[in-house]
Amino acid sequence: MGIIKSSFSFMAGTLCGIYIAQNYNVPNIKKLASTALFMAKHIEESYRKPKKKGDDD
């Protein structure tokens, strides 16, 4: 009885997640994160200060 009671919320969440993924238009998180990372890199590169001639970095 203990294992069923302790894993009930995990099983219920898994079943709800499967139902939602099949019946609703859920965005692709991997693609969304990749796009956000690309935009952050682009903004960082465009606003970066130019390097000085004496810098060794």
pLDDT band at 51 (very low <50, low <70, confident <90, very high): confident
pLDDT, average across residues 25-45: 92
Contact between 26 and 20 (Cβ < 8 Å): yes
Q: How sure is the predictor about 56, in pLDDT bands with cuts at 50, 70 and 90? A: low
Q: What percent of the chain has pLDDT over 90?
A: 58
C-alpha to C-alpha distance for 41 and 55, rounded to whole angstroms: 22
In angstroms, the CA 10 to CA 18 distance is 12
What is the mean predicted confidence (pLDDT) over 28-57? 85
Q: Give the number of other Cβ atoms within 10 Å of residue 50's Cβ.
A: 4
* pTM (2 d.p.): 0.49
